[in-house]
Amino acid sequence: MQKNHYVSMFDPRSNIPGDGVHYRLVGPFTTLDEATPHVDRTRTVARELDFRADFCSFGVLATEATKPGVLNSKILA
């Protein structure tokens, strides 16, 4: 199956390794190069919506998921 790329946020939730959650915020994109330019804007919007995003990391996640990212309407509009 084809991998899709999402701008994602990783919330560590605790100091226990492996105890975090990835959130697919923007995407899916077909390539890493399409997703990467949206990382900074996604981080900014996420921090405006919830101060806890300051404690999370942002990047691009490759996955087989196909659902639209939860911030697509704010970032891609």
pLDDT 10s digits, 18-48: 788 999 999 999 999 999 999 999 999 999 9
DSSP type of residue 41: H
H or E stretch including 72? helix 72-75
CA–CA distance from 42 to each of 24, 34, 45 (Å)? 11, 14, 5
* Residue 71 belongs to domain spanning: 4-27+35-75
Say how far apart CA 61 and CA 54 lie, in whole Å: 19
Q: How many domains are there within the chain?
A: 1
% of the chain exceeding 70 in pLDDT: 100
Q: What is the pLDDT of residue 53?
A: 95
